[in-house]
Structure 1
């Protein structure tokens, strides 16, 4: 499955819910973004069970600002409605594939329990 372009209106419904979603924040004038594009597209084709989404930061400046995107490309990875990875910079194919396997291997019950414990601790 090819990567899909999403807007601010699509963002929440794309990243919420079950499953894995990778979101690439990019711009056409960004050299590293253009070098990362075929890596991201190839990973999308190789992993049809994962949603691969792209946000054009020029067209979606409000969304990029709201999410604190200050460097591009920035990759965000969500699993089961939890942000599990966020990093600026273009990844080589081997690193992206490794990241995907690590996200697949996450014990989400454990991740959510840790988040809940941290939130409880912060509330004290």
Structure 2
């Protein structure tokens, strides 16, 4: 992705979106998340209640254009992080979304014990149907 987009909705259902370009095209969560956090901190007002938050990677490019041979130390580190993120994704795919978590998520288990992917149920009958 070349751009990160953040959507925020507050408790009064006021919704807005902000975008920012990434310094380099990336697919790494560890590079997209800090940019998204910067956007949130620039637009977030102290005391504002957030109902929903969405972070989206935009302006994708093909993997062949993303990967360039480089012998610089930071590029070797990016490749190692990419392999780590792929491993984490495969573990979550095999054993569920809670198989691998960040350490900070253990600070408040009430917020992080939900397996959002498995708990999301789409009901076949609409709420307002007769």
Higher-Rg structure is: 2
TM-score, normalised via structure 1 length: 0.29
Quick check: which one's helix share is greater?
1
Greater relative contact order, per chain length (Cα 8 Å cut-off, separation 6+) = 1
**TM-score, with normalisation over the residues of structure 2?**
0.28
Q: Which has the higher strand share?
A: 1
